[in-house]
Amino acid sequence: MTALDLSSPVAVVGTGTMGQGIAQVALVAGHPVRLYDAVPDRAREAAAAIGARLDRLVEKGRLSAADRDAARARLRPADDLAELADCALVVEAVLERLDVKQELFRSLEEVVSPDCLLATNTSSLSVTAIGGALSHPGRFVGLHFFNPAPLLPLVEVVSGFATDVTSATRAYETARAWGKTPVACADTPGFIVNRIARPFYAEAFAVYEAQAADPATIDAVLRESGGFRMGAFELTDLIGQDVNESVTHSVWQSFFQDVRFTPSLAQRRLVESGRLGRKTGRGWYDHRDGAERPEPHTAEKQQPPAYVVAEGDLGPACELLAMIREAGIEVREEDEDNGTRLVLPGGGQLALADGQTSVEFRDVVYFDLALDYRRATRIALSACQDTGARTVAEATGLFQALGKDVSLIGDVPGMIVARTVARIIDLAYDAVAKGVATEEDVDTAMRLGVNYPLGPFEWSRRLGRTWACSVLDDLHQRDPSGRYAPSLALYRHSFATEKREGAS
């Protein structure tokens, strides 16, 4: 099954920001495009807005004047659904209400031809439920674009329970012909991106709710150590707290209030207060004119230790040993079967975040996971109130000697980056095991849909196949609510690896 022929008209119903963006994508790809909106004159206004954006593309040299003129000639507002009768594809981008969408598609079925492909751009509703209102749900599919649709490459092609393979394939190939990167997924709450991305927000909010760090510090650690483009607090301020919380709540409810997707009470209070982010001037941050952006916590300068004793190879942080030597600090190595820590001159220990807490041990400072310890510009350290001041100072000075800013946070298991990445990896394995998508499509979706520096499976391979399960096991022991319990899929993956390695 191939993509739609460029001579085939495409219709977009709903002319808000997303509807206009989808229409522009189809138009620039070469299709005749019909625009329809139930509000009178809205389609004409949208056509004018799209024309203005085409003008800007010409000004920027991204579109020729001739192609712009040809695209404008192919764009036509429609006053009635009946004008969409000759369309080969109709994409809906209307209000996120099941009854509204079902009524629209019932009406469309009476207008379009039997072989017309019908698609919804829903981000939070069940594709199966919307298609359930149709007489012929086999031709119904989800085409979830990301905003802004003309710029972001990812499209989730969602097959409902009754979607025909031929319909899903045609939608997939059409999205690819439009210059997008499609990924195929089953109809599950949140699809791929909004399902697997929940821990990125949830764990940042949990660290905040535990009073372990402030939003500016958590965001800085996620960016400068984790390699994420934005932190969770600044990103949700950009998205809109109400929008982000609504998606989280929808996924949580759709999974029958699964504790792994529990919404944040702190975010709920923010929404209730009307602080929705940039669009209202205040969210986690103050975005009003003249407001100062809070700075992340950064430790004062400390003297580096003269030497460290390495017990083991530090696992995912093994690159630190070479970096410490390059900084002129002696590394004394001791063979330890299970050693993954540094012993400091004062006797204190420095260990990679593993889901345990400093208070459980004598004089231990934890350091957080980094995407790339050489390129990271900030490292988070955590300690409890009983950790020795000399140990904290030596640990701080060590990382400062490596050229890193150091943020001291509270004694929370898994710290910030480690717990976030472990949970993302877990949800990815769980999704693939349940047939939501392939590993390759999950990695593609998370890199392109939310700009993660690595896909979950790429991260898993880099960190070691047992790393995420081990971190989550430790977290689960300290929070037995089920939120951190490794999925059966991750457990099987980790156990099989250990078994093979033991046999060898």
Q: What is the pLDDT of residues 190-201, one digit of tens each?
A: 999 999 999 999
pLDDT at 3 over 60: yes
The counts of H helices and E strands in the chain are: 19, 15
Catalytic site residue from 92, 156, 311, 394: 156
Instruction: Judge whether residue 118 has pLDDT over 80.
Output: yes
**What is the sign, positive or negative, of the torsion defined by CA atoms of 151, 154, 160, 164?**
positive
For residues 202 and 117, the answer to whether their CB atoms sit within 8 Å is: no
The residues, ordered by sequence, that sit 6+ positions from 319 with a Cβ below 8 Å of its Cβ are: 373, 374
Q: Which member of 121, 123, 244, 382 is catalytic?
A: 123
Whole-structure pTM value: 0.95
Residue of 376, 370, 381 whose CA lies nearest to 402: 376
**Angstrom distance (rounded) from CA 411 to CA 116:** 57
Q: Which of 30, 26, 24, 31 is nearest to 9 (CA)?
A: 31
pLDDT for the residue 499:
58
pLDDT tens digits along 389-400: 999 999 999 999
C-alpha to C-alpha distances, 411 to 177, 424, 486, nearest whole angstrom: 50, 22, 22
Known catalytic residue: 144? yes
pLDDT at position 124 is: 87
- The DSSP 8-state label assigned to residue 5 in this structure reads P
Secondary structure string (H, E, C) spanning 318-357: CHHHHHHHHCCCEEEEECCCCCEEEECCCCCEEEECCCCC
Residues 43, 45, 46: CA angle, nearest 5 degrees: 65
Q: What does the pLDDT look like over 4-27, one tens digit per residue?
A: 999 999 999 999 999 999 999 999
User: Which amino acid, residue 191?
Assistant: F
Q: Is the pLDDT of residue 337 over 80?
A: no
- The number of C-alpha atoms within 13 Å of 218 and in the hemisphere containing its C-beta is 30
412-422 in b/e form (b: 16+ CB < 10 A) is bbbbbbbbbbb
Q: Compute CA 151 distance to the chain's CA centroid, rounded to the nearest angstrom.
A: 17
Which pLDDT belongs to residue 208? Answer: 98
pLDDT of residue 313: 85
The pLDDT score that the predictor gives to residue 336 is 66
Q: Is the pLDDT of residue 504 over 50?
A: no
Mean pLDDT rounded to a whole number for the chain:
95
Is residue 353's pLDDT more than 60? yes
User: For 445-499, how does the pLDDT look when each residue is reduced to its tens digit (9 = 90+)?
Assistant: 999 999 999 999 999 999 999 999 999 999 999 999 999 999 999 999 998 865 5
What integer is the mean pLDDT of 360-371?
96
Candidates 194, 225, 250, 407; catalytic one:
194
Model confidence at 425: pLDDT above 70:
yes
pLDDT beyond 90 at 420: yes
Q: What integer pLDDT is reported at residue 333 of this predicted model?
A: 87
User: Residue 348: is it exposed, middle or buried by C-beta count within 10 angstroms (0-12/13-18/19+)?
Assistant: buried
Provide CB contacts within 8 A for 404, sequence distance 6+: 376, 377, 378, 379
Which residues contact residue 360 at a Cβ distance below 8 angstroms, ignoring those fewer than 6 apart?
Answer: none
Catalytic residue among 144, 287, 297, 493: 144
- Residue 312: predicted pLDDT: 84
Residue 110: active-site member: no
Element (H, E) at 312: strand 307-312
Cα–Cα nearest to 157, from 148, 170, 149, 385 = 170
The pLDDT tens digits for 242-292 are: 999 999 999 999 999 999 999 999 999 999 999 999 999 999 999 999 999
338 is catalytic: no
pLDDT at 338: 63
What integer is the mean pLDDT of 52-68?
96
Contact 305, 397 (CB under 8 A): yes
